[in-house]
Chains A and B, each alone.
Chain A
Amino acid sequence: MRISFKKSNRTLIVRIEGELDHHTAVETREQIDKEINKNNINKLIFDFENLQFMDSSGIGVIIGRYKQIKGLDGKVAITNPNPQVERIINISGLHKIIPIFKSVQSAMDNM
């Protein structure tokens, strides 16, 4: 698992590559939280273009960040999930509270 960040004003784009499971969840959330707190973020985009696999541990990570950003009156979006990742998102009902976009640009334009 590899995680990288891009910032644009108060928007943080989190790019997660590889596999997001229980093993990688702790490090993922710690890194994201550090970036959110450091940069006064109020919009968070999970770019899943290169995320090969996610299970329900990933759902926990996304919901945790969603609650934080909501508390700051901000918004969260997901872009480019593969079919397996999208199924997990749908089963958990996450898609009802977090919009999914085809590209980072369209997420930024519509948030």
Chain B
Amino acid sequence: MTIQNEMKVEFLNKSSNESFARVVVAAFVSQLDPTVEELADIKTAVSEAVTNAIIHGYENTSGYVTLYCKLKDDIVEIIVEDKGKGIEDVELARQPLYTTHPEMERSGMGFTVMETFMDEVQVESVPGQGTKVKMIKKINSSRQ
């Protein structure tokens, strides 16, 4: 059986939507019959990407975060996008422990967690226009 499906949700950059985003993605990805661990990996990566969009993308302004998810056979593709301030230096931002908010006790491990839990992480950012994080993971337990 071939699975092919897509969904898109948009929500305000409120921190209470971090758990909402995790639940939405987990429920949608469940169609691929992932293991508990695979699902936990995806939820954690989504949490990091959405938190980044909320904290860094919009800072103290208001805006929408777009969460897009595509399933194709045993591949999950997730895109988290904001129209916020963008990242000046993406390579630097991806470094472990790099944070622009140490006073908020941000650990600087967000991208490292995404990279560890997903197979592929791509970041596109234009200062002043926003950031798009694309993450891909193969679900090994998927029924064909």
Contacts and interface: CB of A to CB of B under 8 A. Distances in A.
Nearest to A67: B105
**Which size bracket describes the interface of B in this complex?**
20 to 34
Nearest to B108: A56
Interface string B86-122: 0000000000000000001111111011001100000
A53 B109 contact: no
Most buried by B among A19, A22, A23, A91: A22
A29 interface: yes
Contacts of A25: 105
Contacts of A84: 37, 40, 44
Contacts of B16: 23
Contacts of B66: none
Interface string A18-58: 01011101000100000000000000000000000101110
Interface residues of A, number: 21
Task: Decide if the interface of chain B is mainly helix, strand, loop or mixed.
Answer: helix
Task: Decide if the interface of chain A is mainly helix, strand, loop or mixed.
Answer: helix
B106 A19 contact: no
B22 to A, nearest CB: 7
A108 interface: no
A23 B18 contact: yes
Given A22-B15, A83-B37, A55 B105 contact: no
Nearest to A29: B105
Contacts of B22: 53
